[in-house]
Structure 1
Amino acid sequence: MSVHDEPGGRRPVNTWHIPGDLLDRYLAGDLDPVRAMSVDAHLGGCPVCRAAVPYEREWLESSWQRLEDEAGLPRPRPAERLLRLAGLPGHVARLVTVTPALGRAWLTAVLAVLAFGVLAARQTAEALPFFLVAAPVLPLAGIAAAYGPRVDPVHELLAATPLSGPRLLLVRSTAVLTVAFVLAGLASPLLPAPPGLSAAWLLPALAATSGCLALSTRLSVPAAALTAGGLWLAGVAVAAEAGGGWRVPFQPGAQLLYGCAAALLAVLVYRRRDRLDPGETR
């Protein structure tokens, strides 16, 4: 940045402005974090460059209104208070409780799928695979609806916070995974099956979720969730057909593979965490 002294010995005045090509890369989300933060800082103190950033007035006003409605509540929700009591920082607790996937629609859908699986299995043993196959897919659907401008009404505003990007995705994915696991875990003892078989969805769910996050280093979150879910369903169908029964994908040998895959994929996600969700802009 170049500066010059004003007449009369006054403090230096900034005369540098963001070049057009740099501003275009900033708006496209192509800058590395250090340069992006530098541009952010400059925009905060330069009205000339700030005026050069295009925006839609109606969109900005509606975005602020959504933020106020979703995250600016005067009193914490019961779930948020519970998370704070459990030791979660206040700002993280609020981000978790306003996660789009944890809304009534997603929770209702999860409960409906699990309830149908339990009721069907209690009516006929042939319906038990429905529960075991569907349970690992539910967290994937939640993760797909937990992050991104297409599903989150305040995504653009959260993208400007320190919790944006990979950290926000991981926080929300963990919240979705926890809720789905708790609900499926509560439903499992109601199944007419031995404890080992009724819990056979657990490791596949961990592996599918880890695979979804690993794919998110190259694909957008919805595409990664769809791919991981499709691979799981296809794998179950192929294994059942080749092995002569639906129990094959849930036997001890397969469970060992799921556990190893989940561990390896978790390591991969950690090592490539800075590349999570390349399909979304900053």
Structure 2
Amino acid sequence: MTGWHAPDDLVTRYADGSLAETDAWSLDKHLEHCGRCAARVSHAVRAGAAGPSLAAVRAGVLAAAPAPARRTAPAPTAPRALGGRLTRILWAAGPAVRGTWAGAVVLVALGAVALAHGGGWAGARPLLLALAPVVPVAGVALSYGRHSDPLHEIAASAPGGGLRLLLTRTAAVLAVSAPSLTVAGLLLPSPGPRLPAGPATAGWLLPGLALTLASLVLSGYLGCRTATAVVGSGWLLAVSAPLLLTGGTGLTAGLTERLSLYFTGAPSQGGWAAATVLCALLLAARRTAYDRLETM
């Protein structure tokens, strides 16, 4: 906390919505810890064009609230403050992480381990590695949009919304899927002597990151749900189509060879790294296009 406070012109432009996005983000973060500037912003909003409407809404809420609700609430204790912060973090993480998607990822990982060790199925490892790169893409699709978040329009149009909220929820999805699937891959047995050596357990991480960022880039053009569907189906087609077109090779062996081609070696991993950097640069260059993601 420094002694800096927002100038009057910055407060005025923030209150009327004319402040640039990056400046609004910075001031929005400052207001979380500076009561003095928050009070000035509140006064500027009440003095603006929206003031009468906000006053009417406030009066209606106070009139409808029961008498005990109008009393001044006591200062929150440390555990309650910590609980409130954790609640805000969980909300920002998105519907996918706090919903059934995270449980489904864990069940997929456990199911692959059970099939490999309990059922003796040699195809569990290549199948898990083939699906792993699109698991975060599916999580992003379920984390952002009016189809999954009832407060999507409000969240996306807030100063902290747009690309920053989308990246926050994407990071939460990656934080759940990457450790779960990587640990599951480590627990799976190595390929048998009759199967080709498959890619390393962590070989899917960089491709998964590149595909996830590619879906975010396409979201600026097609919308989040359509973009993730295009990227996810494109990856699955790239993995499965060669297996369907070539005959004479077992499914497990063919899938292992295909994944080794995509994941193993410096050229392939270097290509995924270049794709990741390119997608990150495109996101930064088109960051203003995500200010209207409430329509996506």
Question: TM-score category by the smaller chain?
Answer: 0.5 to 0.7
CA separation in 2, counterparts of 1:33 and 1:144? 30
Give the Cα separation in 1 of the matches to 2:215 and 2:84. 30
Q: Pick from 127, 132, 135 the counterpart of residue 135 of structure 1.
A: 132
| C-alpha spacing 1:210/1:219, structure 2 compared with 1 (3 Å) | same
> Are 1:216 and 2:219 an aligned pair?
yes
Identify which of structures 1 and 2 has the higher relative contact order when contacts are C-alpha pairs closer than 8 Å and 6+ apart: 2
For 1:254 and 1:198, the matched residues in 2 are separated by 15
Looking at structure 1, the residues matched to 218 and 176 of structure 2 have their Cα atoms a distance apart, in angstroms, of 22
Report 1:36-185 matches (<5 A).
42-47=48-53, 76-77=82-83, 80=86, 93-97=89-93, 99-122=94-117, 123-185=120-182
User: Which structure is higher in helix share?
Assistant: 2
Q: Is the 8 A contact 1:146 1:152 kept in 2?
A: yes
Q: Which amino acid aligns with 1:96?
A: A
d(CA) in 2 for partners of 1:254 and 1:239? 18
- Structure 1 CA distance for aligned equivalents of residues 125 and 163 of structure 2: 36
- Structure 1 residue 251 displacement after superposition: 2.8
Identical aligned residues as a percent: 33
**1:161 to partner: Cα distance:** 2.7
1-structure distance, mates of 2:108, 2:225: 20
Say which of 263, 266, 290 aligns to 1:250: 263
The 5 Å alignment of 1:197-212 reads: 197-212=200-215
Distance, in Å, in 2 between the alignment partners of 1:142 and 1:265 is: 18
Structure 1 gaps of 5+ residues are 1-30, 52-72, 82-90
Give the Cα–Cα distance (whole angstroms) in 2 for the partners of residues 279 and 187 of structure 1.
35
Deviations 1:140-180 (A, max 9, x none): 11111111222112223323532111111111111111211
- Find the aligned partners of 1:184 and 1:104 in 2 and give their Cα distance: 18
- For residues 200 and 222 of structure 2, the distance between their equivalents in structure 1, rounded to whole angstroms, comes to 33
Q: In the aligned structure 2, how far is the partner of 1:138 from the partner of 1:124? A: 22
2:189 maps to 1:192: yes
Instruction: Give the residue type in structure 1 aligned to 2:282.
Output: L
Q: 1:217–1:277: 8 Å Cα contact kept in structure 2?
A: no
Task: Report the residue type matching 2:176 in the other structure.
Answer: V
**Which AA in structure 1 matches 2:169?**
R
Please tell me whether residue 236 in structure 1 is matched to residue 226 in structure 2.
no
Gaps of 5+ in 2: 1-16, 25-43, 58-78, 191-196
The TM-score normalised by the length of structure 2 is 0.62
TM-score scaled by length of structure 1 = 0.65
Q: Distance in 1 between matches of 2:276 and 2:20?
A: 33
Alignment length (residue pairs): 218
